[in-house]
Amino acid sequence: MSRVEGQAGEDLASEVLVRNRYRILEKNYHSRFGEIDIIAEKNRIIHFIEVKYRKNQGFGLPQEFVTKSKINKILKTAKIYLYENEEKSRDWQLDVFAIEKGSNKCEFFENILIEGLS
């Protein structure tokens, strides 16, 4: 998948989040450990959101591509964000926004560390 298509998925996810009263804080936040696609806030909780955008289910569901390795990179990057923005005491969680392009199906998996998605 091209970077343009990936960006389209992140834009769609952002639009849906805003419609659902999330406030977008950052997009494509980078650290030396990796990237977080979207950082948003709702109800005083900071959401670190990984967007997975797939053309079809030929290789599996989008959310199945969030590996333990990817989660660890996001967690390290999230901790840096919290530290740099003096938000260390805030509640936060890791979410996955899965999009299937062919069907325009969107699913939002909240707090995947509790649900054990990976």
The structure's pTM equals: 0.86
For residue 25, the tally of other CB atoms under 10 A from its CB is: 16
pLDDT tens digit sequence for 52-68? 877 655 566 666 778 88
| Average model confidence (pLDDT) across the chain | 85
Domain boundaries, the chain: 3-115
The mean pLDDT value for 29-49 works out to 96
Class of domain 3-115: alpha beta
* CA distance linking residue 86 with residue 106, whole number of Å: 32
Q: Residues 20, 110: contact at Cβ < 8 Å?
A: no
In tens, the pLDDT along 93-115 reads 999 998 887 666 888 989 987 65
Confidence class of residue 116 from pLDDT cuts 50, 70 and 90? very low
